[in-house]
């Protein structure tokens, strides 16, 4: 009897030497619902819902890909994003796509990417929109279009492509195709000036309508100088076209000179 009580007292002793035995005993208790990492997962779920503001469903999904026991690293990541102008919904979107970011060192893993985008002329809002999207997929899409990551226009194209949805992109391509422009010509224009695809389908159609129907000029020329789509019709394009048309009316030169005049309109 003495030995039984002695063994029991040793097993449940709170001294460091025997605390591990107690833990092992409890872990094999058939009536216990605890698991070795249940407290860790519980903390992660609590943090994702209460601090980050995820829904219980999203928090559960994210917690399957990351676990942490202290708020130190996740707090530093969230603070980093907020300091760089990210809204709460943007931060939530980023973490849902890459939960492991919460266990990273933002200075070593995230900051260099920000610095790269900023060095290419991206504004803080541009960076926020780009990073909160599926960045890896976007980078691959831009590479497939023929952009090289070491070139300045790679970043411009990346920001432009991520600023519009696939359906918006297709709507703009269809608008230009309706004027007889091929996909190759449209892609070539995008490579020259990626931001021209940020114009609305209405603006693209307005410029092409003025160029083709009112001026009767070659529809491929605006895409050879896609900056034209960023100009105001009333303040820039129409006045310039009036001057060029006047020159055409008084021109006694060859058709080659007229083509040169059109090119001058596009390039200046």
pLDDT tens digits, one per residue of 26-68: 333 333 344 445 666 789 999 999 999 999 999 999 998 988 8
**Site of tokens 């021109």:** 251
In a domain, 69, yes or no: yes
Question: Is 144 in the same domain as 79?
Answer: yes
Average pLDDT value for residue range 100-112: 88
In a domain, 209, yes or no: yes
Residue percentage of the chain with pLDDT more than 90: 30
What DSSP assignment string belongs to 58-70? HHHHHHTT---SS
Residue 263 is part of which domain span? 166-267
* Residue-level pLDDT at 262: 53
Residue percentage of the chain with pLDDT more than 70: 74
In a domain, 25, yes or no: no
Say whether pLDDT at 21 is over 80: no
Question: Is 126 in the same domain as 182?
Answer: no
Q: Which of 131, 163, 195 is the last residue of a domain?
A: 163
Predicted TM-score (pTM) of the model is 0.57
The more confidently predicted of residues 138 and 57 is: 57
Q: Which of 134, 163, 192 is the last residue of a domain?
A: 163
For residue 197, which of 150, 161, 244, 154 has the smallest C-alpha distance? 161
* Residue-level pLDDT at 12: 37
Q: Which of 163, 187, 205 is the last residue of a domain?
A: 163
Question: Is 141 in the same domain as 172?
Answer: no
For the chain, how many structural domains are there in total? 2
CATH number at residue 114: 1.25.70.10
Q: Is the distance from CB of 220 to CB of 190 less than 8 angstroms?
A: no
In a domain, 125, yes or no: yes
The more confidently predicted of residues 7 and 253 is: 253
In a domain, 7, yes or no: no
In a domain, 15, yes or no: no
In a domain, 29, yes or no: no
pLDDT tens digits, one per residue of 143-164: 898 898 888 788 888 888 877 8
In a domain, 188, yes or no: yes
Question: Is 84 in the same domain as 137?
Answer: yes
pLDDT tens digits, one per residue of 166-181: 888 999 999 999 999 9
Question: Is 116 in the same domain as 130?
Answer: yes
* Residue-level pLDDT at 206: 94
Question: Is 185 in the same domain as 211?
Answer: yes
Question: Is 109 in the same domain as 194?
Answer: no
pLDDT tens digits, one per residue of 209-229: 998 998 888 888 899 999 989
Say whether pLDDT at 134 is over 80: no
3: region left, alpha or beta (phi > 0 left; psi from -120 to 50 alpha) = alpha
């Amino acid at each position: 009897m003495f030995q039984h009580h002695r063994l029991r007292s040793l097993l449940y002793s709170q001294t460091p030497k025997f605390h591990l035995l107690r833990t092992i005993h409890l872990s094999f208790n058939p009536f216990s619902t605890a698991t070795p990492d249940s407290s860790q997962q519980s903390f992660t779920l609590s943090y994702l819902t209460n601090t980050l503001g995820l829904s219980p469903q999203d928090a559960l999904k994210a917690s399957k890909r990351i676990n942490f026991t202290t708020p130190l690293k996740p707090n530093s990541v969230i603070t980093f994003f907020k300091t760089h102008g990210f809204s709460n919904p943007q931060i939530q979107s980023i973490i849902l796509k890459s939960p492991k970011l919460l266990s990273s060192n933002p200075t070593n893993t995230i900051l260099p990417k920000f610095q790269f985008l900023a060095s290419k002329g991206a504004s803080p809002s541009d960076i926020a929109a780009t990073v909160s999207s599926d960045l890896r997929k976007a980078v691959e899409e831009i590479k497939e279009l023929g952009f090289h990551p070491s070139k300045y226009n790679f970043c411009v194209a990346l920001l432009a492509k991520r600023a519009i949805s696939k359906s918006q992109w297709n709507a703009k391509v269809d608008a230009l195709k309706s004027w007889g422009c091929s996909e190759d010509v449209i892609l070539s224009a995008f490579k020259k000036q990626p931001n021209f695809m940020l114009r609305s389908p209405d603006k693209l159609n307005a410029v092409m309508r003025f160029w083709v129907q009112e001026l009767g000029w070659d529809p491929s020329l605006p895409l050879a100088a896609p900056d034209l789509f960023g100009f105001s019709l009333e303040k820039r394009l129409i006045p310039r076209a009036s001057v060029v048309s006047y020159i055409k009316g008084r021109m006694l030169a060859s058709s080659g000179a007229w083509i040169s005049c059109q090119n001058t309109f596009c390039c200046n």
